[in-house]
Structure 1
Amino acid sequence: MRRAGVVLAAVLAAVVVNLAAYALGRLAGGDFTFTREGEAMTVDAVTVAGFSAVPLGLGLTVVALLVGRVPRIATVASVVAAALAVATIGLMTLPVDLDAVSTVALAACHLTLVPISLLAIRRLNAAAASEAHSRPAASAGTGRPAW
């Protein structure tokens, strides 16, 4: 699979899995409402989809552009992706006054990004290696992305 396809597949998987976690949280009685500056705010399905797709898509796009050109980018990206997924639970989910079910469901959404990110980064690394081996020597180093 080409690198753009890997990014797209990972983003779609994250959105689908996280919307399922959100739906299960709703079915379990979570209201996904919290207070910010005295005003009630609700986390809805669009927010879950966006918070799943945008950061993952941006991060994987950076990796897709750099993998094969920057040594160890896949290793660094794997550590950063996992750390950010876990850290954002403490930065975004736990500090607000959500009910317990909503907190667990949203924390699960963050955690689902770990395996999805790691698998996608591994696939991007493999795709770059495959492209490097199949590219004729004359076109190597043209500076054009292979995706």
Structure 2
Amino acid sequence: MTIFAAYMGRLLAIDYGTKRTGIAVTDELQIIASGLTTVDTSSLVAFLKDYISKETVDKIIIGLPKQMDNAASESEVYIQKFLIKLEKEIPEIPVERVDERFTSKMAFQTMIDSGLSKKQRRNKALVDEISATLILQSYMAAQ
């Protein structure tokens, strides 16, 4: 008996920030979400184009920041501008949004639970990368 797994591309998640952006990806079978890196937001599109030139990406998942009353957060204005640029620069990859409420708090708690020191927990880039991973896990769990 032969088991055939259709080749799929990765899912890539973005925790968008005005200064830094956390990025997470799945494996090719879209089973495991892992933090990839944090990049300066000013070079985000260039980073994504380079990554996509080397890896197959089926979908980009971007956090949707909301306030407790379900209203859009202030950062949504910047994300909308980024989405327009992304659609123009990388139109071939579909984009989906995922509610990202609590991901920063959950990322910080994850860092505490995994035994990281206070100094390591102050690493905002690591928080952004973990937040992107949580956004990706949330998307995968909903599918």
Please state which band the TM-score falls in when normalised by the shorter chain.
under 0.3
**Higher relative helix content:** 1
Which protein has greater RCO, CA pairs closer than 8 Å, 6+ apart?
1
Report the TM-score when normalising by structure 1: 0.27
Normalising by structure 2, report the TM-score. 0.27
